Amino acid sequence: MSQLQEEREIILGNENVDAFDFDEVREFVKGADEKLFISHHFETASKMLVQPRGGFPTYEKQFALYEFFVDAKVDVLPLTIDSNTRLNDYTTAKKMLRLSEANEVDMLNGYPLVNHGYRSTRKMMTHFNHPVSLRHGTPDARLLIEIAIASGIFEIEGGPITYLLPYSKNFPLDKAFLYWKYVERVCADYSTLNKPINRESFGPLTATLVPPSITIVIQLLEMLLSLEEGVKSFSISFSQQGSMTQDIVTAKVTRDLAKHYAAQIGCEDAVIHLVYHQWMGAFPTNRDSADQLINMSTVIASMCGADKIITKTREEAVGIPTKEANAQTVANTQYTLNILSGLPAVVDEQEEEILCAEVHAIMEAVFNDPADTLWRKVFNSIKNGIIDVPFSPHIINHNKMITIRDAHKNIRIIERGNVPIPDHCYRYEKSCCNLNKDTTDIVNDIIHDIGIMQ
Amino acid sequence: MNRLNARGRAEAPEFTTDITRDTPPAVGAFGIIRGCTRLNPWAMKIVTGVIGNDIHVVANRLMDLSLNARGYEVFNLGVNTYLEEFFDASVETGADVLLISSLNGEAEGWSRDVKPLKAKYKNLDDLVMMIGGNLTVGSGNATDIIPRYQNYGFDLVCHQVDLNTGLDMLEDYLREHKPS
């Protein structure tokens, strides 16, 4: 028995799993309808795929949500997981699920997939026969993704960096790398049976003034960590940044460099997709303003040529959205995509060149780390601040980089910390901003720059 | 470099002078030599962080920047910090000020333990205790909240006060109670 299979049997021996049947699950994936695979839709669709967010504790409510989504002409269904499951606390999730079922009150902020199990969840997934994307935020997602794939969920979001640095203070990063290696290997293994399982990275990170160079570097590194384990279908993503030009440039550079770095490790055969998240920062409380913001995001995603868009709702500032509001965004987004045509091609060569140079310089510094494997190089680079994510709560993050917006709302680096931003790029970034202010004013600017959409 | 003006605030930072520098600077963008202490009467040691199961990191980072800019030596414990960790860090660093913040409102529950816990530490009698942020779950008004927290053992209480006003209050307090 392979080492991976041994580990899988230990993971699936968990007391919350009801007799996992490896052979039956393999047969299911092998014979699954291609419509369940998002990789198939990426291959065949002639439009941007639309995917909302959403998860409810009970089977019935999740089912009802999907009915609303399907009526609204959804392309990809989400399955958002509750926060207890994300922290591997299946006992609390189980208790809260029982309470939710008994009282008609939602005691969880998502679907506790492990407690529901794959046998019943699969019934829902095959009933709707849509591709489903697993949305979670779990540093140790080994058990969760096993149950997801066995349920017919063939897109797995997340990664060791993007699901840790924005969400956790002290979950050990080295462990996260190893847990996600398991995820990549299981996805790669199942990908040989039918259409490939798609892996997606979570580009928004903290969604708070993260400069595009840091976003792209982390996307590329998670892509490489995934491809080197044999994954054949991967989505890189980022969220709306506040400036249309910066978004378009980011999309272009991300696509070009993803191809470049995938080829460098001999993975040209992997298919790379681009995913755009509608604004992930603080939302306006006014629902009509929120609708306008959402609509604008859709236009920018089109300008970026994204393959998939992930939507927000007009209730974002208020709390967990109702299924009605959620479905309405899907319908609105489909409408906008349908009427958008004749988009101009926007190119900003100077911005592209600067961003490319920054990404290459950081990637080179990561590769030059003396460690023997890629994940260790990345780990060391985060530890010593070569990669620095603004506003990450994690203790390993360096927190030396400082960013603000320029007059066009582009995110600019005004303090690079240990991140090896080349000097000419650093000079350019700073020259875009008015820095002749005292610190109090700069801090006030940062507060303003975080809340630009409110 | 680290001069403060009459309001105790750092002079304008030298953003524009390091354009030609090749290596990452030892001086932060905000004109503060990190780790350098007591260059001026107000260069005091301050321990800060967000209390409890609270992951609101943005204000915490901005506080860190602002305190550094005002010339404090800052020991930032970040989000999700428990009361013991605050006191341990205050002892370890010999802090002059402990500044606790809370955004999700759970500070009230933790604050009840401040006095008994602080009493267990031998040498924290001179520590200036400050708390700020959203100090209650739901709505409440400052006239009720402030005396309650003062009773819990805080010298300075800022409920929904903006960052710089709060830090000005701290400076006034220190000038009055801790003359150098």
Where do the domains of chain B lie, and which CATH numbers do they carry? 45-177 (3.40.50.280)
pLDDT tens digits for range A6-43: 999 999 999 999 999 999 999 999 999 999 999 999 99
Q: Do B29 and A414 touch (CB under 8 A)?
A: yes
* Tokens linked to A201: 């990275």
Contacts of B131 (CB under 8 A, 6+ apart): B99, B100, B101, B102, B107, B111, B149, B154, B156, B157, B158
Catalytic, A255? Answer no
More confident residue, B164 or B6: B164
Q: Do A393 and B79 touch (CB under 8 A)?
A: yes
- Give the number of A-B residue pairs with CB atoms closer than 8 Å: 81
Angle subtended at Cα A135 by Cα A403 and Cα A75, rounded to the nearest 5 degrees: 105
Which chain B residue shows the shortest CA-CA distance from A440? B66
Of B18, B54, B125, B177, the active-site residue reads B54
Q: Do A414 and B11 touch (CB under 8 A)?
A: no
Fold of A3-339: TIM Barrel (3.20.20)
Which chain A residue shows the shortest CA-CA distance from B50? A393
**Nearest beta carbon to residue A417 from set B13, B20, B24:** B24
Residues B36-52, mean pLDDT to the nearest whole number: 74
pLDDT confidence of residue A260? 98
- Distance in Å, alpha carbon of B164 to nearest chain A alpha carbon: 7
**Nearest beta carbon to residue A395 from set B11, B66, B78:** B78
**A437 and chain B in contact, CB less than 8 A:** yes
Q: Comparing C-alpha atoms, which of A72, A95, A76 is closest to residue A85?
A: A95
CA–CA gap between residue A337 and residue A328 (Å, rounded)? 14
Average pLDDT of the residues of chain A: 96
Please check the confidence at residue A57 and state whether its pLDDT lies above 90: yes
**A442 and chain B in contact, CB less than 8 A:** yes
ipTM of the complex: 0.80
Which chain B residue shows the shortest CA-CA distance from A399? B61
Q: Do B9 and A436 touch (CB under 8 A)?
A: no
Residue type, A70: V
Q: Comparing C-alpha atoms, which of A279, A281, A277 is closest to residue A203?
A: A277
Q: B87 — phi, psi (to 5°)?
A: -70, -40
Q: Do B13 and A208 touch (CB under 8 A)?
A: no
pLDDT confidence of residue A438? 84
Q: Comparing C-alpha atoms, which of B81, B55, B134 is closest to residue A206?
A: B55
What is the percent of chain A where pLDDT is above 90?
Answer: 94
Of B56, B88, B113, B155, the active-site residue reads B56
What residues 54-93 of chain B have any CB closer than 8 A to a CB of chain A? 55, 57-58, 61-62, 64-66, 69-70, 78-80
**B29 and chain A in contact, CB less than 8 A:** yes
Which chain B residue shows the shortest CA-CA distance from A423? B22
pLDDT confidence of residue B37? 38
Chain B residues close to A444, C-beta within 8 Å: 164
Please check the confidence at residue A247 and state whether its pLDDT lies above 70: yes
Q: Between the CA of residue A253 and those of A354, A440, A452, what are the distances in Å?
A: 10, 34, 25
Q: Do A447 and B64 touch (CB under 8 A)?
A: no
Please check the confidence at residue B33 and state whether its pLDDT lies above 60: no
Of A8, A53, A86, A142, the active-site residue reads A86
**A86 and chain B in contact, CB less than 8 A:** no
Q: How confident is the model at residue B32 (pLDDT cuts 50, 70, 90)?
A: very low
Q: Lowest mean pLDDT: which of A193-207, A412-426, B29-43?
A: B29-43
pLDDT confidence of residue B179? 67
Q: Do B58 and A391 touch (CB under 8 A)?
A: yes
pLDDT tens digits for range B124-146: 999 999 999 989 877 778 899 99
**B23 and chain A in contact, CB less than 8 A:** no
Q: How confident is the model at residue B109 (pLDDT cuts 50, 70, 90)?
A: confident
pLDDT confidence of residue B7? 37
Q: Lowest mean pLDDT: which of A315-319, A341-345, B55-59, B104-108?
A: B104-108
Residues A79-100, mean pLDDT to the nearest whole number: 95
pLDDT confidence of residue B180? 60
Please check the confidence at residue A434 and state whether its pLDDT lies above 60: yes
Q: How confident is the model at residue B54 (pLDDT cuts 50, 70, 90)?
A: confident
How would you classify the pairing of strands B45-50 and B73-76?
Answer: parallel
CA–CA gap between residue A441 and residue B75 (Å, rounded)? 23
pLDDT tens digits for range A369-414: 999 999 999 999 999 999 999 999 999 999 999 999 999 999 999 9
Q: How confident is the model at residue B42 (pLDDT cuts 50, 70, 90)?
A: low
Please check the confidence at residue B19 and state whether its pLDDT lies above 90: no
pLDDT tens digits for range A30-40: 999 999 999 99
**A260 and chain B in contact, CB less than 8 A:** no
Residues A243-260, mean pLDDT to the nearest whole number: 98
Q: Could you write out the DSSP letters of every residue in A110-149?
A: S--HHHH-HHHHHHHHHHHT--EEEE---SS-HHHHHHHH
- Distance in Å, alpha carbon of B124 to nearest chain A alpha carbon: 26
Chain A residues close to B78, C-beta within 8 Å: 169, 393, 395
Do the Cβ atoms of B141 and B157 come closer than 8 Å? Answer: no
Of A155, A157, A315, A358, the active-site residue reads A157
Please check the confidence at residue A126 and state whether its pLDDT lies above 60: yes
**B165 and chain A in contact, CB less than 8 A:** no
Catalytic, B168? Answer no
Q: At what angle do helices A349-367 and A374-383 cross, to 10 degrees?
A: 110
Domain boundaries, chain A: 3-339
